[in-house]
């Protein structure tokens, strides 16, 4: 207790107001030399100071009481708030769910409440035997207030651990991403990490569009986010994966991939790369063989590249569709340009395309010239990294310095590596009247696509390319891709793979670049088969005509009707309907 100083008796009487004035008495002079009396003012300051002192301690005490009444794990949970943030559903163009959030339980411990870390660890490992014993003991015996032990338990694991009744062990409800379709669209939808954040595919794209910032701000804690609709059709996606899986088995290939692209909008309707992975277990995505070959794989596309060489030659105005070229082998820079299957006669431009003439394609490129060739492929988007929503996109490779021999080998698909996705996008420009439209995995209208479309070839060149696709589809190497009623045209490509800098004859990368219906193309389809083998007893080899083309035909046969393409059987079909 603080003692107040005593005031002089005479001084205290001044405050009563009944004493005589000091100058009226002799003693008044002696008081006039003393310090002025300030007792009333000091008292007020003193009271104010005491009041402030008590207020400060009252506030501190109140805060301590408030914090003490909160749950022990509140601080830790708040720190993990962004972990449980919700994500929007991903749905296909018809509203079918591709990815959604589900609730799951995660295991945590409060080490300060653990009575016996050794015993608690042994009990937990009886349910979760894969937990590292040393790791578990270190966390349970620590002085931390909160530690995670295992995220995303199964309901059974949660129940078994709950039944153990270990003090200081608890469960936290979190959101986990669930992919109902499993592997079906794995390379498109991508995956999330244990904190429910997108790390691949469209999941990462959604995060990069602002979701991550929203989550960090704590504005995505509920599940009220609107679904994100993708351009793919889950039904067609399933068909493509089913046929590619069958092709891998039938042709004993190491991999296969495919895409269906809308040539009027640039929408990717289906895209599959196999082997693939289950995004519910994203660790599988890291395996080398599960690479997304369509957008992240670089390949020499072989003779499918002759489509661009022919279009370049025609569009340059230096070559007419009626021109004829010698197919005699010739040497350039010490290399001999020759045919794979020579016709031993000059060929017209359509025949060069139909018979896949290396010599004829090289001569077409030679007429255009090195700079013109490079400029055309650049204009078609085949030499630069393609822009789309998927983050897994590779950058094409090309010679550092283009020489004449480079231009000639590139004319028939050797010496330059690009992604199958880019090949399909450039092919769409050959079919849709000459407009290069960037691909998208989101819905896009024709009007929106027209605003983005860049003219790259003339309509006449596009019409001539459709004619040659149809010619090769009906009478050339694409015959096995024909589907009655849907008029499929296209170009095959059989490319020897490069291993350690050398072309290997028995390792092929085959592709079939198709469009349907070829009289008014709506879709481009590209199917690639990696290292296929001949089918025993079939009498066929391992070229693209015998594996990639029939695989593409099977996909179109099952999916065309779902895409709204009506079959047209011509006059014969009409007569059949009338007679029926």
The catalytic site residues sit at 303
Q: Give the three-class secondary structure for 327.
A: coil
**487 Ramachandran zone, left/alpha/beta (phi>0; psi -120 to 50):** left
d(CA 336, CA 392): 38
**Bridge partners for 215 per DSSP:** none
Structure tokens at 225: 């986010």
Q: Which residues, 6+ apart, have CB-to-CB distance to 406 below 8 Å?
A: 370, 399, 415
CB 272 within 8 A of CB 305: no
Q: Which residues are CB-neighbours of 567 under 8 A, at least 6 positions away? A: 484, 485, 486, 560, 561, 573
Please provide residue 136's backbone torsions phi and psi, each rounded to the nearest 5 degrees.
-65, -45
Per DSSP, the three-state class of 210 is helix
Spatial neighbors of 164 by CB under 8 A, at least 6 apart, are 123, 124, 126, 127
- Cα–Cα distance, 366 to 405 (Å, whole number): 9
| CA dihedral sign of residues 538, 544, 548, 554 | negative
DSSP 340: S
Q: In whole angstroms, give the CA distance from residue 541 to residue 299.
A: 21
- In a 10 Å sphere around its CB, with 0-12 CB exposed, 13-18 middle and 19+ buried, how is residue 331 labelled? exposed
CA distance 542 to 29: 129
Q: What is the DSSP string of 91-138?
A: E-TT--EEEEEEEEEEEEE-GGG-S-HHHHHHHHHHH-TTS-HHHHHH
- Which residues, other chains included, contact 519 with Cβ-Cβ below 8 Å and sequence gap of 6+? 466, 470, 487
Q: Is 207 exposed, middle or buried (0-12, 13-18, 19+ CB in 10 A)?
A: buried
Contact 498, 300 (CB under 8 A): yes
User: Can you tell me the distance from the alpha carbon of 477 to that of 253, in angstroms, rounded to the nearest whole number?
Assistant: 20
221 and 259 in contact (C-beta within 8 Å)?
no
């Amino acid at each position: 207790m603080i003692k107040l100083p005593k005031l002089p008796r005479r001084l205290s009487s001044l405050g009563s107001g009944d004493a005589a004035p000091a100058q009226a008495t002799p003693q008044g002079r002696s008081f006039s030399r003393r310090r002025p009396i300030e007792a009333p003012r000091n008292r007020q300051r003193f009271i104010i100071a005491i009041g402030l002192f008590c207020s400060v301690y009252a506030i501190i005490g109140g805060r301590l009481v408030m914090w003490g009444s909160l749950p022990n794990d509140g601080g830790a949970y708040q720190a993990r708030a962004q972990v449980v943030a919700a994500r929007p559903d991903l749905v296909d163009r018809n509203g079918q769910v591709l990815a959604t959030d589900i609730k799951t339980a995660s295991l945590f411990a409060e080490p300060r409440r653990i009575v016996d870390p050794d015993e608690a660890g042994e009990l937990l490992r009886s349910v979760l035997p894969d937990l590292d014993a040393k790791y578990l003991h270190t966390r349970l015996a620590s002085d931390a207030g909160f530690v995670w032990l295992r995220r995303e338990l199964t309901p059974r694991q949660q129940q078994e651990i709950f039944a153990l009744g270990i003090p200081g062990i608890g469960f936290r409800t979190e959101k986990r991403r669930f992919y109902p379709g499993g592997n079906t669209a794995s390379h498109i939808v991508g995956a999330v990490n244990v904190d429910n954040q997108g790390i691949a595919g469209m999941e990462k794209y959604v995060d990069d569009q602002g979701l991550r910032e929203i989550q960090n701000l704590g504005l995505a804690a509920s599940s009220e986010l609107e679904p994100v609709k993708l351009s793919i059709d889950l039904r067609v996606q399933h068909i493509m994966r089913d046929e590619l899986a069958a092709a891998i088995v039938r042709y004993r290939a190491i991999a296969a991939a495919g895409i269906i692209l809308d040539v009027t909008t640039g929408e990717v309707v289906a895209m599959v790369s196999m082997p693939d992975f289950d995004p519910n277990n994203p660790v599988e995505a890291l395996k080398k063989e599960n690479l997304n070959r369509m957008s992240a794989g670089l390949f020499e596309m072989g003779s499918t590249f002759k489509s661009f060489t022919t279009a370049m030659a025609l569009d340059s105005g230096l070559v007419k569709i009626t021109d004829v070229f010698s197919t005699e082998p010739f040497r350039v820079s010490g290399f001999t340009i020759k045919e794979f299957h020579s016709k031993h006669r000059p060929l017209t431009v359509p025949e060069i395309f139909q018979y896949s003439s290396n010599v004829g394609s090289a001569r077409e490129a030679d007429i255009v010239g090195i700079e013109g060739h490079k400029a055309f492929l650049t204009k078609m988007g085949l030499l630069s990294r393609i822009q789309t929503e998927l983050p897994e996109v590779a950058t094409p490779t090309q010679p550092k310095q283009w020489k004449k021999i480079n231009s000639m080998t590139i004319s028939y698909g050797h010496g330059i590596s690009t992604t199958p996705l880019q090949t399909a996008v450039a092919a769409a420009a050959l079919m849709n009247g000459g407009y290069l439209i960037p691909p998208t995995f989101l819905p896009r209208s024709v009007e929106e696509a027209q605003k983005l479309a860049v003219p790259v070839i003339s309509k006449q060149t596009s019409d001539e390319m459709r004619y040659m696709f149809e010619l090769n589809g009906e009478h050339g190497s694409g015959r096995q891709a024909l589907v009655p009623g849907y008029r499929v045209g296209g170009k095959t490509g059989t490319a020897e793979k490069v291993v350690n800098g050398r072309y290997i004859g028995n390792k092929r990368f085959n592709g079939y670049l198709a469009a349907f219906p070829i009289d008014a193309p709506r879709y481009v389809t590209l199917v690639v088969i990696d290292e296929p083998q001949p089918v025993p007893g079939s009498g066929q080899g391992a070229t693209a005509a015998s594996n990639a083309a029939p695989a593409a035909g099977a996909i179109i046969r099952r999916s065309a009707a779902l895409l709204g393409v009506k079959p047209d059987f011509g006059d014969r079909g009409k007569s059949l309907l009338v007679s029926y």
